[in-house]
Amino acid sequence: MEIIADFHLHSKYARATSKQSTLENIYKWCKIKGINVVGTGDFTHPLWFEEINSKLEPAEHGLYKLKNIYSKEIEEKLPVSVKNNSVRFILTTEISNIYSKYSKTRRMHNLIIFPDIDSVSKFNLKLSKIGNLKSDGRPILGLDSKILLKIVKETNNKALLIPAHIWTPWFSMFGSKSGFDTINEAFEELTPEICAIETGLSSDPFMNWRLSALDKIAIISNSDSHSVQKLGREANIFDCGLSYDDLLSAIKTNDQRLVGTIEFFPQEGMYHLDGHRKCSVRLTPAQTKSYNNICPKCHKDLVIGVLNRVDQLADRPENFVPKSHKSVEFLIPLLEILSEIYNVKNSVKVIADYEFLYTKFGSELSILKNLSISELEKCGHTKLAHAIEKMRKREVFIEPGYDGVYGVVRVFSPGESTATAGQLSLKL
Amino acid sequence: MTDQILPNKKQLEILKHIYGPQIIIAGPGTGKTATLILKINKLVNELKIPHQNILALTFTNKAVNEINQRLGLPDFGYTFHSFCSYILKTKNISYKIIPDHQRKKIINVISSQFGLRFQEVEVGISRYKNLADYKIDKKIILEYEKILQKEGFWDFDDLLIKTYFLLKNDDAVRLQKLKKYKFIFIDEFQDTSKIQYELIKLFVGGSRNICVIGDPNQSIYSFRGADSAIFDQFKNDFPVCKIFYLNENYRNNSKIIEIINQIFPKQSITGIKNDFYDVALVNTLNQNTQAQWIIDFINSKIGGVNLQNASSTSEKLDNNIRFSDFAVIYRNHEHAVTVKKKLFNLGAPYQVIGEDSLFFREETKIIYKIIKYLLDNNYEITTDEINLSKQINLDKKFSETIPSLINLLLSNSKNKDEEYLVDFGLLINEFDHYENSYQKFIEYYDFMLANDSYDEKSDKINLLTMHSAKGLEFNYVFLCFFNNGFIPSKFETDEDKRLFYVSVSRAKKGLFLISPKTYKKRDLYASNYKQFFNLPDVRYIEDENMAREQKRINKQKLKKSQIKLF
């Protein structure tokens, strides 16, 4: 069966997250989005873990579901079109490791997946002695990532550690400001335990294929969302049985059961290009090189983005595509497309249309991925049909992100959208 | 451990002198432990002296572990206490050491009985037992001894005393031991008490191969009966002793050494490290801004513990840094409550070195227990505590409940240390901000119980008192409350100076002395020790946050006065 899974997200207990990120809301939005397996996130946080314990119950092996008393109420308010989408939880968390290795400060984020509540309890107990788990859903530990991996494996051999958003400059395995050049540097003899990496918003599989070192490793994508509306903006598509073991073995073997990923246009990520936010300087890797990595405005070191960093570590040319590879689908969140069509942000109208669309056609991901263009046109959504068609063909206009500034991806060229938005608006 | 690799000239000279009594005076960071290791290595490896015939005594378990590790001899060194327990074991003498909380309880009872402060009594007893002059009535000490005996316990001082008299009165044992140890080393000699010294003297054989290493300027344990005059006594006892000076510093950068030399001008230390350094005097407003300044600094060095401040501080980054490279040093644990609170909220890992944490005190635990009981009646507390709890109502705001509970506790008994409770109240009064402030408080307390202790291997920001700083070193040191009345204390004794000397010489790369202008509504004045910093390159920093904090305080005051008006 096809399973769409998003492993990496944060609860209301993490820094800078929406108060709305409760288990009930995650559940509700997964139904609307069409996500079948979703990470709990933040299981190291004592209060969040307590909620996980009290509100979830075991479902298929290694997966959990929201108890009936909580789910019923939500389902009653959802339209038939999305109500029956199956949603399971899987136990996940993210750790921020800040430490020094080979005489350099390292800051690395790691995603961790566990198969059962008992192991998580043991794991949390071990970590609580190493650092403070109570202040942030993503705890900061002065702990070598390799040692963390060791603790993960000692606690439960089936658990998995996945280096998170591996290219972002400040907090990642390959980050220009914080990381290593190879997986082996970071994990040494435990490197074989690293069987997957997370692309992060600012990179896509195409960029990662340029490193032959990643050939045998599963490339996965997650939303890392800090609010429920952003769930599934990146995700993974599996074709396997619904259980922890099925999903994890698909990742470990990287076989055909891991079908592919749903991607953000990487340019939209906030660390795609190089630059300085404060100086409003945005540069391509080639430009950065011509400035010797120094900001032409303030003359300090530039923040080297993901594209540049990939270039530094890659051993294959740009546009390299392996002979056989996983499917890659670039999507733009439906709310963003609607906002562009109306030229407004998250207005009442946009949200009303959004609700109308999933009520009529089913989950957001199924609309973006699968709904036939003619069907949309037939129903009178000409402009939206046009937009989705262009998105699927990757015919989009992009202003890339840099140094913490999100990029802007538009389906229509600037003139095209604003001038005609009024006339071609959805007929709902 | 300093970064020295090969023995220097002085050390080579010391190595040539194998036999006879020796004193090595070694300033901070001059490779004291390294010299000890070199000497022992030579005895064992070149002169083929079995290591069982060498006795090496040092001050802490940490130092013992370091020596053992560097020599590759797992059970070699001793602390005075572990040495005593070893000897008593060979004599089949069994004993029970009193648990610390029980000992404190006894002293608590006695001090209220005699109308004295806890600390006076504790220090008096220990000084008496270590053969130092003591300032309390001997009756008090005898009372303490009586209770101890009745309960069948020894305290740590007894361990030394009993061992000493056992050996002194028992020639057979002594002779047997004398034969065994052909060489004796005492590390941190300045902190050796008289009884410890007398004990070791019993082991010094005819060849008088005893070598003591230390630094009189770093003697900071007078309250335990240690005294830097012990060096003079050694010279008296062993008039032919050779005296060596180690003064080449491998730890600190030369700027910090200049300052160290200003504190004790007679002992001139030379530095060989000229790399990056930073020494600054920081003026700030209060505890809050002091703590914030420290946290901002750590953030800027380690690259921001979160994304929000990662990229904005990139130019100040230290490219090889970890959490354990930072130490916040202060006179008393009470001075660190705000720093702790802010670190907790930030989520950065930290630990407190040394004992006497606020969270381990009986006084504060009662508050915790009562609140916990009120939240969950299954939690077991004493009848006294239940009675107290009846006067407390958790429907009230947290900031109202806690002060009234503290007042109850203060009025109920006289022997409680008032300051601890007041400090504790200040520390937790902001829990009002939370939705379920009582639950949050319990969690916070649990966390503190688990984390307010030292694990030297873990990578966390260190918080410690000046007294716990000896023998440790850190890249960046923040010294809090660099003000008269704190550093130095209002008595401005020699020991204050030595304590300051020890604290300052911990810093390898950066030293920041922070002087708030107020503390608990009192005005503070700059430290007299500022005089040691009249050097070029010392930075003077005015904390940028002062104005904002002052505004906040004024606003609060205004609010309060308005409430009073209506």
Residue A33, domain CATH? 3.20.20.140
B498: CB partners within 8 A, 6+ apart: B217, B218, B219, B220, B228
In a domain, A227, yes or no: yes
Question: Residue type at B322?
Answer: R
Q: How confident is the model at residue B180 (pLDDT cuts 50, 70, 90)?
A: confident
Q: How far is CA A160 from CA A113, A333, A342, B331, B525, in A?
A: 5, 29, 43, 45, 56
Residues of B in contact with A99 (CB under 8 A): 322-323, 459
Q: Dihedral through CA B26, CA B85, CA B226, CA B167, nearest 10? A: -100
The strand ranges marked E within B239-324 are: 242-246, 248-253, 270-273, 278-284
Does the CB of B391 have a partner CB in chain A at under 8 Å?
no
Tallying the residues shown for chain A, one arrives at: 428
pLDDT of residue B165: 87
**How many Å lie between the alpha carbon of B72 and the closest alpha carbon of chain A?**
25
Q: Which two tokens stand for residue A175?
A: 């980050």
For B429-506, list the strands marked E by DSSP.
Answer: 461-465, 474-479
Mutation site, A100, A277, A302, interface B, largest B CB count within 10 A: A100
Q: At what angle do helices B100-114 and B362-375 cross, to 10 degrees?
A: 110
pLDDT in tens, A261-291: 999 999 998 999 999 998 999 999 999 999 9
- Is B413:B477 a contact under the CB 8 Å cutoff? no
Asked whether residue A98 falls in the same domain as residue A176, the answer is yes
Mean pLDDT, rounded, of chain B: 85
Residue-level pLDDT at B357: 61
pLDDT of res. B476 = 95
Residue with tokens 């007042």: B407
Per-residue confidence at B309, pLDDT binned at 50, 70, 90? low
Q: Give me the numbers of helices (H) and strands (E) for chain A, helices first please.
A: 17, 17
Ligand-binding site membership of B284 (annotated): no
Q: Check whether residue A44 and residue A122 sit in a common domain.
A: yes
Which residues of chain A make contact with B339, given a CB cutoff of 8 A?
Answer: none
Q: Do the Cβ atoms of A105 and B443 come within 8 Å? A: no
Place of tokens 């059970």: B75
Does the annotation list B29 as a binding residue?
yes
How far apart CA B547 and CA B171 sit, in angstroms, is: 72
A299 vs B: CB within 8 A: no
Distance, CA of A403 to CA of B396 (rounded, Å)? 47
Which one, of A235, A237, A284, A285, lies nearest residue A263 by Cα?
A235
- Whether A270 has its CB under 8 Å from any CB of chain B: the answer is no
- How confident is the model at residue A428, as a pLDDT? 34
| In CATH, B9-91+162-246 is 3.30.930.10 | no
Alpha carbon distance B52, B56 (integer Å): 10
Comparing CB atoms, the residue among B304, B310, B346 nearest residue A135 is B346
In chain A, what residues touch B443 (CB-CB under 8 Å)?
46, 134
Q: Which of A105, A129, A177 sits opposite B320 (nearest CB)?
A: A105
Sign of the alpha-carbon dihedral angle for A80, A85, A88, A89: negative
Q: Are A178 and A108 in contact (CB under 8 A)?
A: yes
Report how far residue B213's alpha carbon sits from residue B216's, in angstroms, rounded to the nearest whole number. Answer: 10
Residue type, B460: K
**∠ CA A254-A260-A262 to the nearest 5 degrees?**
140
Q: What is the pTM of this model?
A: 0.80
Residue A423, pLDDT score = 36
The answer to whether the beta carbons of residues A10 and A41 sit under 8 Å apart is: yes
Q: Nearest Cβ partner of B345 from A135, A139, A404? A: A135
Confirm or reject contact between B73 and chain A (CB < 8 A).
Answer: no
Contact B303 A128 (CB under 8 A): no
Quick one: residue A109, left, alpha or beta (phi over 0 = left, psi -120 to 50 = alpha)?
beta
Same-domain pairing of A243 and A338: no
Tokens linked to B402: 């806690």
Per-residue model confidence (pLDDT) at position A419? 40
Neighbours of B77 (CB within 10 A): 25
Distance spanning both ends of chain B, measured CA to CA: 63
CB B309 within 8 A of CB A102: no
Instruction: Say whether B338 counts as a known binding-site residue.
Output: no
Residues of chain A with confidence (pLDDT) below 70:
415-428
Q: Cα-flanking dihedrals φ and ψ of residue B211, to 5°?
A: -125, 120
- The answer to whether B309 faces chain A, any CB pair under 8 Å, is no
CATH architecture, domain defined by B270-308+318-352+456-558: 3-Layer(aba) Sandwich (3.40)
**Structural domain includes residue A327:** no
Decide if A126 touches B, using CB distance below 8 A.
no
| B302 → chain A, closest CA residue | A105
Closest among B303, B437, B452 to B375, alpha carbons compared: B437
Chain A residues touching residue B460 (CB < 8 angstroms): 131, 142
More confident residue, B316 or A72: A72
ipTM: 0.81
What pLDDT is recorded for position B345? 86
In B34-145, the DSSP E strands lie at 54-58, 78-79
So where are chain B's domains?
9-91+162-246, 99-154, 270-308+318-352+456-558, 362-450
Any binding-site annotation on B229? no
Whether the Cβ atoms of residue B225 and residue B126 lie closer than 8 Å to each other: yes
Interface A–B counts its CB contacts (< 8 A) at 91
Confidence at residue A427, expressed as pLDDT on a 0 to 100 scale: 33
Note the pLDDT of residue A380: 86
Instruction: Check residue B492 and give left, alpha or beta (phi > 0: left; psi -120 to 50: alpha).
Output: left
Average pLDDT value for residue range B422-449: 75
pLDDT tens column, B17-62: 999 999 999 999 898 888 999 999 999 999 999 999 999 998 877 7
Confidence band of B323 (pLDDT split at 50, 70, 90): very high
CB within 8 Å of B201: residues ≥ 6 apart = B237
Which one of B310, B320, B447 has the shortest CB-CB distance to A104? B320
Q: Which of A15, A46, A107 sits opposite B303 (nearest CB)?
A: A107
- What is the residue type of A154? E
A178 and B303 within 8 Å at the Cβ level: the answer is yes
Residue A306 lies in a domain: no
| Residue A259 near residue A280, CB atoms below 8 Å | no
pLDDT digits (tens, 9 = 90+) for B124-142: 898 888 878 888 888 999 9
Helix segments in A214-281, DSSP class H: 244-253
Tell me whether residue A216 is in a domain.
Answer: yes
- The tally of domains found in chain A comes to 2
Contacts of residue B407, defined as CB under 8 A and 6 or more positions apart, other chains included, come to none
DSSP, collapsed to helix, strand or coil, labels residue B506 as coil
- Do residues A137 and A41 touch, judged by C-beta distance below 8 A? yes
Q: Any chain A CB within 8 A of the CB of B449?
A: no
Domain residues for A115?
Answer: 2-267
Q: Tokens 């430009």 map to which residue?
A: A287
Which pLDDT score is estimated for B145?
A: 92
B99 secondary structure, DSSP code: P
Nearest to B471 by CA among B12, B53, B36: B36
Distance CA B143, CA B166 (A): 24
Whether A279 is covered by a domain: the verdict is no
Shared-domain flag, residues A254 and A351: no
Share of chain B above pLDDT 70, in %: 88
Does one domain contain both A257 and A347? no
In this prediction, residue A422 carries a pLDDT of 36
- The answer to whether B382 is annotated as binding is no
Nearest to B194 by CA among B154, B221, B167: B221
Chain A contact present for B322, CB below 8 A? yes
User: Which chain A residues are closer than 8 Å to B321 by Cβ?
Assistant: 100, 105
CB contact under 8 A, A132 and B348: yes
Nearest chain A residue (CA) to B460: A142
* DSSP secondary structure code for residue A142 in this structure: -
A201: left (phi over 0), alpha (psi -120 to 50) or beta: alpha
Instruction: Count the Cβ atoms, other than its own, within 10 Å of residue A292.
Output: 8
Average pLDDT over residues B450-455: 58
B21 is in an annotated binding site: no
Rounded Cα gap, residues A403 and B311, in angstroms: 8
B-interface mutation test, from A128, A135, A274, most B Cβ less than 10 A away: A135
Q: Specify the DSSP element, H or E, that contains B153.
A: none
pLDDT at position A367: 97
Mean pLDDT of all residues in B459-482: 92
Q: What's the pLDDT at B399?
A: 80
Looking at the structure, do residues A176 and A30 belong to the same domain, yes or no? yes
Is A304 part of a structural domain of the chain? no
A260 with A341, same domain: the answer is: no
Q: What pLDDT, on the 0 to 100 scale, is given for residue B450?
A: 63
Six token digits for residue B531: 């005089």
Q: Is pLDDT of B523 > 70?
A: yes
Q: Is residue A311 part of a domain?
A: no
Residues of B in contact with A171 (CB under 8 A): 307, 310
SS3 A15: coil
Cis peptide before B488 (omega within 30 of 0): yes
Asked if domains B9-91+162-246 and B270-308+318-352+456-558 share a fold, the reply is yes
B531 pLDDT above the threshold of 50: yes
Same domain, A75 and A216: yes
CB proximity B347 to A under 8 Å: yes
Q: Is A142 among the domain residues?
A: yes
Residue A206, token pair as written in the block = 């195409």
Nearest CA in chain A to B439: A47
- The answer to whether B72 is annotated as binding is no
